[in-house]
């Protein structure tokens, strides 16, 4: 099928298009109206229909392929590995559902999940979906203050947690953080259900804290029927990372999300029932919701849930999983690939990767060097994709399941079906032409699977996302350009723009230029306040070979080389005022650069909420570089 025709139907006849896609899932009661857009920008999909995420992800496959693998739990932190068939997964989910019901959880109640990447976390999510409770997963190990604000916003009746997570063999105790968060929060959950992994001591609170395994023993043979939900009932709340002040809870529906994921697994990720899907993300992020738990299971695939690092016990661990479980589709982030690129090449050569059909990358822009390297190593298509917590599934990619289309280096692809993507001039609101930079926006209604609203705050939803231009469009807050063939290139956040003497420059453009220097491994560029020019660009570079940057003279020479590269590629106006050399860059645990924190340090300000930072030593390196 020609993708252009396919796409055109999806945006010109959305009701017909999505009515056809809705056949992919089970509806207990058929929907009466495909789309209700009577109160824009709010959109309701498949109105009147009843369905259930857990039924579509687990029960229907337990009936047809109950003995096939469903969930593969692997932890290189605890050296454990267990495969659950669809039948076994269904039973574990019913046990978890019965446990929740015994603790007073009912339809519409919120359950906060604060867990490491262990199977019980997936059981808890699916159990909530089964009984109509609304789950809110918070990244395991999140700091107490941030956790407390989420508890106060979601007001959970139950929190599911564990004694600890583990990273690089070191236990990260969760319970003290959770106890502190509950102490700080105004809302107090009735119960805390705790998985004891014997990694850290647990101090229990009498009458509130319940041991997971003890309660599970009481519900071994539980039979918990599915609670059928109206398509627009809430399935979950996921708080966007890096939120300051009052948390921003992305609220998702049931039916639209199920249909969107089912379609994306076919059209974008090309996964088939009986195959194995491996996403290296975490359930604390949207990728973990959509493409570790719900998406692959809705497609009847086995999904890998991995706790551990990509280079521990060695840099071959991911590829050993691909070989052992015959992984066909893999999803990761460019940062992880750059980490692997630094490792000895033999780790990729020693495993049979013939089952792998494609590697998908998202979460940050994919630079050309990284893309070319991993493509040559794996010999499979490297498919970039661009989306957000708010959208739940890709906005831009290549729909290989519709038409094989060439990828384009540096571009996440073209608009996916259902998304009316445009580029608008920030100042005038006018449509941008080819190769003209603008803000990436989407015309309403947003397709199925996207956020319904900000949890508990419709006004904030409209004001934040839909009120940035004279016309009512959804703003992604990302800069982009579109080439003559319709491929989009993302240039960074609109709030990461550097305004140098009236010239507006995206940090991503400068980073791409600096990355082309042969001795640059990673780079972060930030705009720093300057009395003369308004702002200047400052770059922080991790060199591939640290030797040239080990002396003041060497750093000066390398800095001059990098500046010359930017001069040649972008012009003198884009040249950084300084290039600093570091061994680490501050990142979140999901691999995103903390540019705002770097900028704050450059300007002598407080770097802000650092609860999601991966390695605090990286901030000290930035400070030390600035002091030189």
DSSP symbols for 97-139: HHHHHHTT--TT-EEEEE--SSHHHHHHHHHHHHHT-EEEE--
For the segment 65-86, the average pLDDT, to the nearest whole number, is: 98
pLDDT tens column, 393-420: 999 999 999 998 889 888 999 999 999 9
The region of weakest confidence among 57-61, 321-325, 335-339, 362-366 is 362-366
Residue 508 has pLDDT above 90, yes or no: no
Q: Kindly report the pTM of this predicted structure.
A: 0.85
Return d(Cα 149, Cα 29) in angstroms, integer: 37
Domain architecture of the chain: domains with CATH: 3-308+385-477 (3.40.50.12780), 501-627 (3.30.300.30)
Average pLDDT of every residue of the chain: 93
pLDDT at position 534, please? 74
The region of weakest confidence among 157-161, 445-449, 468-472, 498-502 is 498-502
Sequence-separated (6 or more) residues with CB below 8 Å from residue 269: 277, 291, 295, 299, 329, 331, 358, 360, 401
For the segment 365-378, the average pLDDT, to the nearest whole number, is: 86
**Local structure of 493: helix, strand or coil:** strand
Element (H, E) at 75: strand 69-75
The total number of residues written for the chain in this structure = 628
Could you give the C-alpha distances from 89 to 51, 54, 66, 126, 577, in angstroms and in order? 19, 11, 9, 10, 56
CB distance 282 to 591 below 8 Å? no
pLDDT at position 249, please? 95
Could you give the C-alpha distances from 226 to 28, 31, 33, 52, 128, in angstroms and in order? 10, 18, 23, 7, 10
pLDDT at position 90, please? 98
**Alpha-carbon dihedral of residues 580, 585, 591, 592, nearest 10 degrees?**
-50
For the segment 99-108, the average pLDDT, to the nearest whole number, is: 98
CB burial readout 512-535, b (16+ within 10 A) else e: bbbbebeebbbbbbbbbeeeebeb
pLDDT at position 244, please? 41
pLDDT tens column, 582-615: 999 998 776 778 888 899 899 998 887 666 677 8
Looking at per-residue pLDDT, the higher value among 333 and 442 belongs to 442
For the segment 230-235, the average pLDDT, to the nearest whole number, is: 98
pLDDT at position 243, please? 34
Whole-angstrom Cα Rg for the chain: 24
Instruction: Provide the token pair at 434.
Output: 């080819």
For the segment 247-253, the average pLDDT, to the nearest whole number, is: 93
Residue 245 has pLDDT above 60, yes or no: no
Could you give the C-alpha distances from 241 to 389, 567, 587, in angstroms and in order? 9, 35, 12
Helix 86-102 to helix 119-131 angle, to the nearest 10 degrees?
A: 70
Instruction: Provide the token pair at 393.
Output: 């599934």
For the segment 85-100, the average pLDDT, to the nearest whole number, is: 98
pLDDT tens column, 197-213: 999 999 999 999 999 99
User: Residue 453 forms beta bridges with which residues?
Assistant: 251
User: Residue 277 forms beta bridges with which residues?
Assistant: 303, 329
Find, among 269, 240, 308, 311, the residue nearest to 592 by Cα.
240
Return d(Cα 208, Cα 151) in angstroms, integer: 16
Could you give the C-alpha distances from 394 to 232, 271, 361, 413, 468, in angstroms and in order? 21, 15, 11, 10, 22
**Local structure of 566: helix, strand or coil:** helix
Return d(Cα 480, Cα 492) in angstroms, integer: 8
Residue 301 C-alpha from the chain's centroid: 20
For the segment 517-542, the average pLDDT, to the nearest whole number, is: 89
| Half-sphere exposure of residue 467: CA atoms within 13 angstroms, side-chain side | 7
pLDDT at position 503, please? 65
pLDDT tens column, 275-316: 999 999 999 999 999 999 999 999 999 999 999 999 999 999
Find, among 332, 376, 327, 396, the residue nearest to 356 by Cα.
327
Sequence-separated (6 or more) residues with CB below 8 Å from residue 174: 114, 115, 116, 140, 141, 161, 162, 163, 164, 165, 200
Residue 360 has pLDDT above 90, yes or no: yes
Instruction: Provide the token pair at 234.
Output: 């809430």
CB distance 488 to 412 below 8 Å? yes
Find, among 130, 9, 125, 110, the residue nearest to 62 by Cα.
130
User: Residue 279 forms beta bridges with which residues?
Assistant: 331
Find, among 324, 260, 308, the residue nearest to 69 by Cα.
324
% of the chain exceeding 90 in pLDDT? 77
pLDDT at position 240, please? 81
Residue 483 has pLDDT above 80, yes or no: yes
% of the chain exceeding 70 in pLDDT? 97
**Local structure of 218: helix, strand or coil:** coil
């Amino acid at each position: 099928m020609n993708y252009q025709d396919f796409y055109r139907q999806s945006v010109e006849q959305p009701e017909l298009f999505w009515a056809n896609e809705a056949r992919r899932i089970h509806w207990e009661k058929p929907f009466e109206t495909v789309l209700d857009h009577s109160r824009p920008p709010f959109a309701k999909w498949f109105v009147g229909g009843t369905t259930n995420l857990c039924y579509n992800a687990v029960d229907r496959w337990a009936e047809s392929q109950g003995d096939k693998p469903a969930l593969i739990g692997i932890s290189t932190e605890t050296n454990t590995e267990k495969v659950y068939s669809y039948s076994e997964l269904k039973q574990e989910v019913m046990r978890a559902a019965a446990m929740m019901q015994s603790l007073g959880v009912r339809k519409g109640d919120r359950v906060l999940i604060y867990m490491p990447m262990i199977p019980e976390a997936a059981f808890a999510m699916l159990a909530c979906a089964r009984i109509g409770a609304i789950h809110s997963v918070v990244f395991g190990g999140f700091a107490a203050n941030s956790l407390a604000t989420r508890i106060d916003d979601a007001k959970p009746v139950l929190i599911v947690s564990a004694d600890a997570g583990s990273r690089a063999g070191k236990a990260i105790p969760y319970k003290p953080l959770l106890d502190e968060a509950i102490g700080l929060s105004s809302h107090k959950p009735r119960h805390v259900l705790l998985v004891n992994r014997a990694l850290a001591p647990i101090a229990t609170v009498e009458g509130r804290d319940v041991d997971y395994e003890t309660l599970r023993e009481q519900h071994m043979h539980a039979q918990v029927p599915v609670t059928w939900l109206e398509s627009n009932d809430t399935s979950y709340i996921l708080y966007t990372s890096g939120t300051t002040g009052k948390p921003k809870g992305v609220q998702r529906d049931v039916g639209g999300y199920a249909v969107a994921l089912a379609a994306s697994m076919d059209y974008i990720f090309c996964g088939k029932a009986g195959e194995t899907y491996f996403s290296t993300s975490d359930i604390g992020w949207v990728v973990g919701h959509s493409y570790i738990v719900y998406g692959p299971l809705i497609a009847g695939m086995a999904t890998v849930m991995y706790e551990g690092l990509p280079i521990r016990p060695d840099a071959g661990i991911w590829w050993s999983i691909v070989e052992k479980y015959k992984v066909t589709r893999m999803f990761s982030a460019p940062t992880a690939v750059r980490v692997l690129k630094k490792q000895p090449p033999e780790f990729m050569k020693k495993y049979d990767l013939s089952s792998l059909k494609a590697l998908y990358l998202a979460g940050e822009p994919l630079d050309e060097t990284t893309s070319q390297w991993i493509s040559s190593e794996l010999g499979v298509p490297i498919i970039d994709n661009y989306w957000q917590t708010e959208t739940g599934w890709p906005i831009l990619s290549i729909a290989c399941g519709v038409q094989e289309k060439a990828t384009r280096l540096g571009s996440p692809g073209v608009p996916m079906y259902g998304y009316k993507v445009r580029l608008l001039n920030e100042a005038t609101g006018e449509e941008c032409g080819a190769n003209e930079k603008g803000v990436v926006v989407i015309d309403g209604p947003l397709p199925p699977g996207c956020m319904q609203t900000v949890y508990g705050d419709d006004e904030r939803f409209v004001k934040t996302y839909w009120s940035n231009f004279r016309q009512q469009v959804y703003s992604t807050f990302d800069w982009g350009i579109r080439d003559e063939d319709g491929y989009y290139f993302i240039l960074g956040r609109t709030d990461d723009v550097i305004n140098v003497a009236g010239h507006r420059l995206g940090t991503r453009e400068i980073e791409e230029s600096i990355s082309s220097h042969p001795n640059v491994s990673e780079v972060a560029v930030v705009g720093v306040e300057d009395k003369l020019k308004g702002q200047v660009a400052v770059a922080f570079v991790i060199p591939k070979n640290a030797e040239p940057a080990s002396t003041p003279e060497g750093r000066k020479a390398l800095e001059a080389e990098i500046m010359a590269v930017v001069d040649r590629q972008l012009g003198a106006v884009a040249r950084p005022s300084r290039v600093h050399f570091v061994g680490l860059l501050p990142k979140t645990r999901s691999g995103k650069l903390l540019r705002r924190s770097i900028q704050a340090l450059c300007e002598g300000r407080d770097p802000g909420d650092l609860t999601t930072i991966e390695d605090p030593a990286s901030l000290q390196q930035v400070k030390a570089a600035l002091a030189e």
